[in-house]
Structure 1
Amino acid sequence: MSDLAQLDSVKTQLIKSFTQAQQREAPYRHWRLSALFPVAIARSIGQLPFTPPVIDDTGGRRETHNESRRFFDQDAISKFPTCAAVAHALQSDEVISVIESRCAVDLTHTNLRIEYALDTQGFWLEPHTDLGVKKFTLLAYLAEDEGHDDWGTDIYAHKTAPAERVPATFNTAMIFVPSNNTWHGFEPRKINGIRRTLIINFVSPEWRNRHELAFPDEPIAPR
Protein backbone atom coordinates (compact mmCIF):
# COMPACT_ATOMS: atom_id res chain seq x y z
CA MET A 1 0.00 0.00 0.00
CA SER A 2 1.35 3.44 -0.92
CA ASP A 3 1.88 6.08 1.76
CA LEU A 4 -1.04 8.09 0.36
CA ALA A 5 -3.35 5.07 0.31
CA GLN A 6 -2.32 4.22 3.87
CA LEU A 7 -3.05 7.77 5.00
CA ASP A 8 -6.46 7.71 3.33
CA SER A 9 -7.33 4.39 4.97
CA VAL A 10 -6.43 5.72 8.43
CA LYS A 11 -8.46 8.90 7.91
CA THR A 12 -11.46 6.95 6.67
CA GLN A 13 -11.38 4.56 9.63
CA LEU A 14 -10.89 7.35 12.19
CA ILE A 15 -13.84 9.27 10.79
CA LYS A 16 -16.02 6.16 10.88
CA SER A 17 -14.96 5.35 14.45
CA PHE A 18 -15.61 8.87 15.71
CA THR A 19 -18.94 9.08 13.93
CA GLN A 20 -20.11 5.80 15.48
CA ALA A 21 -18.66 6.50 18.95
CA GLN A 22 -20.88 5.65 21.90
CA GLN A 23 -21.43 8.65 24.16
CA ARG A 24 -21.73 8.05 27.91
CA GLU A 25 -22.56 10.49 30.69
CA ALA A 26 -21.37 8.61 33.78
CA PRO A 27 -19.25 9.32 35.70
CA TYR A 28 -18.64 12.19 33.26
CA ARG A 29 -19.20 12.69 29.57
CA HIS A 30 -16.90 10.51 27.50
CA TRP A 31 -17.01 8.43 24.36
CA ARG A 32 -16.10 4.81 23.61
CA LEU A 33 -14.73 4.02 20.16
CA SER A 34 -14.25 0.70 18.42
CA ALA A 35 -12.20 -0.23 15.33
CA LEU A 36 -10.22 2.98 15.74
CA PHE A 37 -7.58 2.22 13.11
CA PRO A 38 -7.40 -0.20 10.21
CA VAL A 39 -6.34 -3.49 11.83
CA ALA A 40 -3.07 -3.60 9.87
CA ILE A 41 -2.13 -0.16 11.18
CA ALA A 42 -3.12 -1.01 14.76
CA ARG A 43 -0.93 -4.11 14.64
CA SER A 44 1.97 -2.31 12.97
CA ILE A 45 2.11 0.13 15.89
CA GLY A 46 2.95 -2.83 18.11
CA GLN A 47 5.76 -3.75 15.72
CA LEU A 48 7.54 -0.40 15.96
CA PRO A 49 11.11 -0.81 17.27
CA PHE A 50 10.40 0.83 20.61
CA THR A 51 11.10 -0.98 23.87
CA PRO A 52 9.51 -0.42 27.27
CA PRO A 53 11.53 1.83 29.56
CA VAL A 54 13.28 0.26 32.52
CA ILE A 55 12.06 2.39 35.40
CA ASP A 56 11.51 2.25 39.12
CA ASP A 57 8.21 3.18 40.74
CA THR A 58 6.69 6.03 38.72
CA GLY A 59 5.06 7.49 41.80
CA GLY A 60 1.82 7.35 39.84
CA ARG A 61 2.96 9.95 37.30
CA ARG A 62 4.40 9.61 33.81
CA GLU A 63 6.50 12.76 34.15
CA THR A 64 8.79 11.01 36.64
CA HIS A 65 10.44 9.28 33.66
CA ASN A 66 10.21 11.94 30.92
CA GLU A 67 13.59 11.01 29.43
CA SER A 68 12.36 7.54 28.42
CA ARG A 69 8.94 8.46 27.00
CA ARG A 70 8.16 7.83 23.32
CA PHE A 71 6.28 10.11 20.95
CA PHE A 72 5.17 10.20 17.34
CA ASP A 73 7.41 13.25 16.98
CA GLN A 74 9.09 14.65 13.88
CA ASP A 75 11.84 12.02 14.07
CA ALA A 76 9.41 9.08 14.33
CA ILE A 77 7.19 10.53 11.61
CA SER A 78 10.16 10.80 9.24
CA LYS A 79 11.37 7.23 9.96
CA PHE A 80 8.22 5.13 10.26
CA PRO A 81 5.33 5.17 7.75
CA THR A 82 2.89 4.00 10.43
CA CYS A 83 3.71 6.99 12.63
CA ALA A 84 3.40 9.30 9.63
CA ALA A 85 0.02 7.92 8.58
CA VAL A 86 -1.46 8.17 12.08
CA ALA A 87 -0.10 11.66 12.74
CA HIS A 88 -1.06 13.14 9.36
CA ALA A 89 -4.54 11.59 9.59
CA LEU A 90 -5.17 13.10 13.03
CA GLN A 91 -3.86 16.47 11.81
CA SER A 92 -6.09 16.44 8.71
CA ASP A 93 -8.96 18.90 8.31
CA GLU A 94 -11.42 16.05 7.79
CA VAL A 95 -10.61 14.31 11.08
CA ILE A 96 -10.32 17.56 13.04
CA SER A 97 -13.78 18.59 11.83
CA VAL A 98 -15.30 15.29 12.94
CA ILE A 99 -13.65 15.50 16.38
CA GLU A 100 -14.84 19.07 16.90
CA SER A 101 -18.38 18.23 15.83
CA ARG A 102 -18.66 14.97 17.77
CA CYS A 103 -17.16 16.31 20.99
CA ALA A 104 -18.29 19.95 20.82
CA VAL A 105 -14.72 21.17 21.22
CA ASP A 106 -12.75 23.90 19.46
CA LEU A 107 -9.22 22.76 18.60
CA THR A 108 -8.14 25.98 16.90
CA HIS A 109 -4.51 26.91 17.68
CA THR A 110 -3.85 23.61 19.48
CA ASN A 111 -1.07 21.18 18.57
CA LEU A 112 -1.22 17.42 18.16
CA ARG A 113 0.73 15.32 20.67
CA ILE A 114 0.87 11.51 20.36
CA GLU A 115 2.58 9.53 23.09
CA TYR A 116 3.23 5.81 22.64
CA ALA A 117 3.13 4.36 26.16
CA LEU A 118 4.69 0.96 26.83
CA ASP A 119 3.81 0.03 30.40
CA THR A 120 4.93 -3.07 32.26
CA GLN A 121 4.48 -4.69 35.66
CA GLY A 122 4.62 -2.13 38.47
CA PHE A 123 3.11 0.72 36.45
CA TRP A 124 0.25 2.74 37.91
CA LEU A 125 -1.20 6.23 37.56
CA GLU A 126 -2.82 8.30 40.26
CA PRO A 127 -6.21 9.85 39.44
CA HIS A 128 -5.90 13.10 37.48
CA THR A 129 -8.13 15.16 35.17
CA ASP A 130 -5.87 16.42 32.31
CA LEU A 131 -7.42 19.86 32.92
CA GLY A 132 -5.15 22.68 31.84
CA VAL A 133 -3.15 22.76 28.63
CA LYS A 134 -4.68 19.51 27.32
CA LYS A 135 -7.84 20.38 25.38
CA PHE A 136 -8.71 16.87 24.14
CA THR A 137 -7.68 13.38 25.25
CA LEU A 138 -7.95 10.06 23.42
CA LEU A 139 -6.64 6.85 24.98
CA ALA A 140 -6.23 4.06 22.43
CA TYR A 141 -5.70 0.48 23.55
CA LEU A 142 -3.36 -1.58 21.37
CA ALA A 143 -2.12 -4.46 23.54
CA GLU A 144 -2.84 -8.05 22.57
CA ASP A 145 -1.04 -9.88 25.38
CA GLU A 146 -2.95 -12.29 27.59
CA GLY A 147 -5.13 -10.40 30.05
CA HIS A 148 -4.99 -7.12 28.11
CA ASP A 149 -8.74 -6.50 28.40
CA ASP A 150 -8.20 -5.65 32.08
CA TRP A 151 -5.54 -3.03 31.32
CA GLY A 152 -7.96 -0.22 30.51
CA THR A 153 -8.31 3.18 32.12
CA ASP A 154 -9.93 3.49 35.53
CA ILE A 155 -12.45 6.33 35.62
CA TYR A 156 -13.72 7.97 38.79
CA ALA A 157 -16.80 9.78 40.08
CA HIS A 158 -14.33 11.94 42.00
CA LYS A 159 -10.68 11.60 42.90
CA THR A 160 -11.18 8.93 45.55
CA ALA A 161 -14.27 7.17 44.15
CA PRO A 162 -13.56 4.61 41.38
CA ALA A 163 -16.57 4.22 39.09
CA GLU A 164 -15.58 1.87 36.27
CA ARG A 165 -12.70 0.25 34.44
CA VAL A 166 -12.83 0.82 30.69
CA PRO A 167 -12.14 -2.46 28.83
CA ALA A 168 -8.86 -2.32 26.93
CA THR A 169 -10.12 -4.31 23.97
CA PHE A 170 -7.61 -4.23 21.12
CA ASN A 171 -8.03 -1.25 18.76
CA THR A 172 -10.64 0.52 20.88
CA ALA A 173 -10.41 3.87 22.64
CA MET A 174 -12.02 6.27 25.05
CA ILE A 175 -12.07 10.02 24.61
CA PHE A 176 -13.03 12.99 26.75
CA VAL A 177 -12.72 16.75 26.84
CA PRO A 178 -10.74 17.55 30.01
CA SER A 179 -12.63 19.40 32.73
CA ASN A 180 -12.54 19.57 36.51
CA ASN A 181 -14.36 16.22 36.86
CA THR A 182 -12.65 14.02 34.23
CA TRP A 183 -10.80 11.92 36.80
CA HIS A 184 -8.95 8.94 35.34
CA GLY A 185 -5.96 6.80 36.23
CA PHE A 186 -4.62 3.27 36.36
CA GLU A 187 -4.97 1.29 39.58
CA PRO A 188 -2.08 -1.10 40.35
CA ARG A 189 -2.68 -4.54 38.86
CA LYS A 190 -0.85 -7.37 37.15
CA ILE A 191 0.53 -6.58 33.69
CA ASN A 192 1.66 -9.85 32.16
CA GLY A 193 3.28 -8.40 29.06
CA ILE A 194 3.31 -4.88 27.64
CA ARG A 195 0.39 -2.49 28.00
CA ARG A 196 0.47 -0.57 24.71
CA THR A 197 -1.52 2.65 24.48
CA LEU A 198 -1.52 5.76 22.36
CA ILE A 199 -2.21 8.87 24.40
CA ILE A 200 -3.44 11.43 21.90
CA ASN A 201 -3.88 15.03 23.01
CA PHE A 202 -4.44 18.37 21.41
CA VAL A 203 -2.60 20.86 23.61
CA SER A 204 -2.73 24.64 23.90
CA PRO A 205 0.09 26.96 22.74
CA GLU A 206 1.43 27.08 26.31
CA TRP A 207 2.73 23.51 25.99
CA ARG A 208 6.45 23.78 26.78
CA ASN A 209 7.93 20.51 25.51
CA ARG A 210 7.64 21.34 21.83
CA HIS A 211 9.85 18.40 20.81
CA GLU A 212 7.03 16.04 21.87
CA LEU A 213 4.61 17.45 19.32
CA ALA A 214 3.85 15.79 16.02
CA PHE A 215 3.93 19.08 14.12
CA PRO A 216 5.36 21.72 16.49
CA ASP A 217 5.14 24.53 13.94
CA GLU A 218 1.69 23.64 12.60
CA PRO A 219 -1.10 24.44 15.06
CA ILE A 220 -4.63 23.61 14.00
CA ALA A 221 -5.86 26.44 11.82
CA PRO A 222 -9.27 28.13 12.17
CA ARG A 223 -11.94 26.79 9.87
Structure 2
Amino acid sequence: MAEATAAWLREALARAEPRATPYRHWLLACMLPGTVLRGIDALPVVPPAIGDTAGRRETHNSTRWFFGAGQRAQFPVCHALAAALQSRAMTRALEDHCAVRLRGGFLRIEYCLDTDGFWLEPHTDIGAKLFTMLIYLTDPPVGEDWGTDIYVSATAHAGTAPCRRNHGLIFVPGADSWHGFARRPITGVRRSLIVNYVTPDWRARHELAFPDIAVA
Protein backbone atom coordinates (compact mmCIF):
# COMPACT_ATOMS: atom_id res chain seq x y z
CA MET A 1 0.00 0.00 0.00
CA ALA A 2 2.86 2.39 0.76
CA GLU A 3 4.35 2.29 -2.75
CA ALA A 4 0.96 2.74 -4.39
CA THR A 5 0.16 5.65 -2.07
CA ALA A 6 3.49 7.34 -2.84
CA ALA A 7 2.87 6.97 -6.57
CA TRP A 8 -0.63 8.42 -6.17
CA LEU A 9 0.73 11.39 -4.22
CA ARG A 10 3.41 12.05 -6.82
CA GLU A 11 0.77 12.09 -9.56
CA ALA A 12 -1.31 14.55 -7.53
CA LEU A 13 1.77 16.72 -7.05
CA ALA A 14 2.46 16.71 -10.78
CA ARG A 15 -1.09 18.01 -11.39
CA ALA A 16 -0.90 20.64 -8.62
CA GLU A 17 -2.13 24.14 -9.43
CA PRO A 18 0.63 26.66 -8.57
CA ARG A 19 -0.17 30.03 -7.06
CA ALA A 20 2.42 32.79 -6.76
CA THR A 21 0.61 35.22 -4.48
CA PRO A 22 0.61 36.20 -1.70
CA TYR A 23 3.38 33.57 -1.44
CA ARG A 24 4.24 30.38 -3.29
CA HIS A 25 1.66 27.67 -2.67
CA TRP A 26 0.02 24.86 -4.57
CA LEU A 27 -3.56 23.53 -4.63
CA LEU A 28 -3.95 19.78 -5.03
CA ALA A 29 -6.83 17.44 -5.82
CA CYS A 30 -7.36 13.68 -5.59
CA MET A 31 -4.41 13.38 -3.23
CA LEU A 32 -4.91 9.94 -1.64
CA PRO A 33 -6.24 6.63 -2.99
CA GLY A 34 -9.64 5.44 -1.77
CA THR A 35 -8.15 2.64 0.32
CA VAL A 36 -6.17 5.15 2.37
CA LEU A 37 -9.12 7.50 2.76
CA ARG A 38 -11.33 4.68 3.99
CA GLY A 39 -8.62 3.47 6.34
CA ILE A 40 -8.31 6.91 7.90
CA ASP A 41 -12.10 7.18 8.15
CA ALA A 42 -12.10 3.92 10.15
CA LEU A 43 -9.50 5.02 12.71
CA PRO A 44 -10.95 4.93 16.26
CA VAL A 45 -10.41 8.63 16.88
CA VAL A 46 -13.13 10.93 18.21
CA PRO A 47 -13.11 14.73 18.27
CA PRO A 48 -11.62 15.97 21.53
CA ALA A 49 -13.83 17.97 23.88
CA ILE A 50 -11.91 21.23 24.12
CA GLY A 51 -12.73 24.81 24.96
CA ASP A 52 -11.28 27.89 23.31
CA THR A 53 -8.08 27.10 21.44
CA ALA A 54 -6.89 30.68 21.88
CA GLY A 55 -6.11 30.49 18.18
CA ARG A 56 -3.40 27.83 18.55
CA ARG A 57 -3.40 24.04 18.30
CA GLU A 58 -0.77 23.71 21.01
CA THR A 59 -3.25 25.12 23.54
CA HIS A 60 -4.56 21.55 23.87
CA ASN A 61 -1.49 19.44 23.10
CA SER A 62 -2.67 16.49 25.22
CA THR A 63 -5.65 15.85 22.91
CA ARG A 64 -3.74 15.85 19.62
CA TRP A 65 -3.38 12.66 17.54
CA PHE A 66 -0.34 11.84 15.40
CA PHE A 67 0.76 9.06 13.08
CA GLY A 68 3.60 8.25 15.47
CA ALA A 69 5.54 5.02 15.91
CA GLY A 70 2.83 3.51 18.11
CA GLN A 71 0.04 4.40 15.72
CA ARG A 72 2.03 3.01 12.77
CA ALA A 73 2.45 -0.29 14.60
CA GLN A 74 -1.25 -0.51 15.45
CA PHE A 75 -2.93 0.76 12.28
CA PRO A 76 -1.77 -0.33 8.80
CA VAL A 77 -3.10 2.81 7.14
CA CYS A 78 -0.94 5.00 9.40
CA HIS A 79 2.14 3.02 8.47
CA ALA A 80 1.29 2.99 4.76
CA LEU A 81 0.84 6.75 4.53
CA ALA A 82 3.89 7.48 6.68
CA ALA A 83 6.05 5.09 4.67
CA ALA A 84 4.86 6.72 1.43
CA LEU A 85 5.73 10.20 2.66
CA GLN A 86 9.08 9.02 4.08
CA SER A 87 10.12 7.31 0.84
CA ARG A 88 12.99 8.82 -1.09
CA ALA A 89 10.91 8.91 -4.28
CA MET A 90 8.28 11.04 -2.56
CA THR A 91 10.62 13.40 -0.74
CA ARG A 92 12.69 13.89 -3.90
CA ALA A 93 9.53 14.76 -5.82
CA LEU A 94 8.59 17.34 -3.19
CA GLU A 95 12.12 18.77 -3.14
CA ASP A 96 12.20 19.12 -6.92
CA HIS A 97 8.67 20.47 -7.30
CA CYS A 98 8.79 22.96 -4.43
CA ALA A 99 12.50 23.86 -4.43
CA VAL A 100 12.91 22.84 -0.80
CA ARG A 101 15.46 20.70 1.03
CA LEU A 102 13.95 17.93 3.19
CA ARG A 103 16.96 15.67 3.63
CA GLY A 104 17.90 15.33 7.28
CA GLY A 105 14.41 16.36 8.41
CA PHE A 106 11.78 14.24 10.12
CA LEU A 107 8.22 13.41 9.09
CA ARG A 108 5.30 14.54 11.26
CA ILE A 109 1.65 13.73 10.45
CA GLU A 110 -1.19 15.08 12.59
CA TYR A 111 -4.81 13.92 12.31
CA CYS A 112 -7.07 16.86 13.17
CA LEU A 113 -10.76 16.69 14.08
CA ASP A 114 -11.95 20.25 14.56
CA THR A 115 -15.41 21.16 15.84
CA ASP A 116 -17.37 24.36 16.29
CA GLY A 117 -15.38 26.97 18.18
CA PHE A 118 -12.05 26.00 16.63
CA TRP A 119 -9.99 28.76 15.08
CA LEU A 120 -6.36 29.53 14.30
CA GLU A 121 -4.76 32.93 14.39
CA PRO A 122 -2.69 33.92 11.34
CA HIS A 123 0.81 32.43 11.59
CA THR A 124 3.66 31.43 9.26
CA ASP A 125 4.97 27.98 10.37
CA ILE A 126 8.43 29.50 10.15
CA GLY A 127 11.16 27.96 12.29
CA ALA A 128 11.36 24.20 12.81
CA LYS A 129 8.95 23.31 9.99
CA LEU A 130 10.59 22.77 6.61
CA PHE A 131 7.43 21.99 4.63
CA THR A 132 3.66 21.98 5.18
CA MET A 133 0.96 19.96 3.44
CA LEU A 134 -2.74 20.06 4.36
CA ILE A 135 -5.09 17.30 3.22
CA TYR A 136 -8.82 17.87 3.74
CA LEU A 137 -10.80 14.72 4.57
CA THR A 138 -14.37 16.02 4.72
CA ASP A 139 -16.69 18.09 2.58
CA PRO A 140 -18.23 21.01 4.51
CA PRO A 141 -22.00 21.45 4.64
CA VAL A 142 -23.57 23.68 2.01
CA GLY A 143 -22.98 27.31 2.91
CA GLU A 144 -19.92 26.68 5.10
CA ASP A 145 -16.30 27.12 4.05
CA TRP A 146 -13.74 25.07 5.96
CA GLY A 147 -10.67 25.83 3.88
CA THR A 148 -7.43 27.26 5.21
CA ASP A 149 -7.34 31.05 5.16
CA ILE A 150 -4.39 32.61 3.34
CA TYR A 151 -3.13 36.04 4.35
CA VAL A 152 -0.90 38.75 2.94
CA SER A 153 0.09 39.66 6.49
CA ALA A 154 -1.05 38.95 10.02
CA THR A 155 -4.06 41.18 9.45
CA ALA A 156 -4.74 41.21 5.67
CA HIS A 157 -6.82 38.31 4.34
CA ALA A 158 -6.07 37.19 0.75
CA GLY A 159 -8.40 34.24 0.22
CA THR A 160 -9.31 30.71 1.28
CA ALA A 161 -8.05 27.40 -0.07
CA PRO A 162 -10.84 25.21 -1.51
CA CYS A 163 -11.93 22.67 1.09
CA ARG A 164 -13.20 19.49 -0.53
CA ARG A 165 -12.58 15.90 0.46
CA ASN A 166 -9.20 14.70 -0.77
CA HIS A 167 -8.10 18.18 -1.85
CA GLY A 168 -5.28 20.07 -0.22
CA LEU A 169 -2.73 22.82 0.02
CA ILE A 170 1.06 22.79 0.23
CA PHE A 171 3.60 25.53 0.87
CA VAL A 172 7.14 26.07 2.05
CA PRO A 173 7.14 28.01 5.33
CA GLY A 174 8.73 31.42 5.15
CA ALA A 175 8.45 34.88 6.61
CA ASP A 176 5.48 35.59 4.31
CA SER A 177 3.56 32.27 4.54
CA TRP A 178 0.70 33.65 6.64
CA HIS A 179 -2.25 31.28 7.06
CA GLY A 180 -4.87 30.38 9.68
CA PHE A 181 -8.54 29.63 10.15
CA ALA A 182 -10.80 32.56 10.98
CA ARG A 183 -13.70 32.05 13.40
CA ARG A 184 -16.73 30.67 11.57
CA PRO A 185 -19.31 27.92 12.01
CA ILE A 186 -18.27 24.27 11.85
CA THR A 187 -21.39 22.14 11.62
CA GLY A 188 -20.01 18.68 12.21
CA VAL A 189 -16.34 17.71 12.22
CA ARG A 190 -13.65 19.32 10.09
CA ARG A 191 -11.23 16.45 9.53
CA SER A 192 -7.83 16.97 7.96
CA LEU A 193 -4.22 15.85 7.97
CA ILE A 194 -1.32 18.20 8.56
CA VAL A 195 1.91 16.84 7.10
CA ASN A 196 5.17 18.52 8.05
CA TYR A 197 8.82 17.77 7.61
CA VAL A 198 10.61 19.29 10.58
CA THR A 199 14.18 19.98 11.63
CA PRO A 200 16.17 17.40 13.65
CA ASP A 201 15.86 19.42 16.86
CA TRP A 202 12.07 18.87 17.06
CA ARG A 203 11.54 18.12 20.75
CA ALA A 204 8.21 16.23 20.76
CA ARG A 205 9.64 13.00 19.31
CA HIS A 206 6.39 11.09 19.92
CA GLU A 207 4.80 13.24 17.20
CA LEU A 208 7.23 11.96 14.57
CA ALA A 209 6.36 9.05 12.30
CA PHE A 210 9.96 7.78 12.33
CA PRO A 211 11.58 9.45 15.34
CA ASP A 212 14.92 7.72 14.79
CA ILE A 213 15.09 7.87 10.99
CA ALA A 214 15.69 11.12 9.14
CA VAL A 215 14.62 11.68 5.57
CA ALA A 216 17.33 10.14 3.38
TM range (shorter): over 0.9
Q: Percent identity?
A: 50
The aligned runs of 1:1-223 (5 Å cut-off) are 6-144=1-139, 146-147=141-142, 150-221=145-216
Structure 1 residue 47 displacement after superposition: 1.9
The alignment of Structure 1 onto Structure 2 pairs a total of residues equal to 216
For normalisation by structure 2, the TM-score amounts to 0.97
- Please, which runs of 5 or more residues in structure 2 have no aligned partner? none
Structure 1 residue 147 displacement after superposition: 4.0
Structure 1 residue 11 displacement after superposition: 1.1
Quick one: distance in 2 between partners of 1:197 and 1:69? 12
The superposition leaves residues 39-96 of structure 1 with CA deviations (integer Å, 9 ceiling, x where unpaired) of 2312321221001110010000000000000000011101111111100000001101
Structure 1 residue 149 displacement after superposition: 6.7
For normalisation by structure 1, the TM-score amounts to 0.94
The superposition leaves residues 188-215 of structure 1 with CA deviations (integer Å, 9 ceiling, x where unpaired) of 1111111011000000011110110000
Quick one: distance in 2 between partners of 1:137 and 1:26? 17
- Please, which runs of 5 or more residues in structure 1 have no aligned partner? 1-5
User: 8 Å contact 2:140–2:146 — kept in the other structure?
Assistant: no
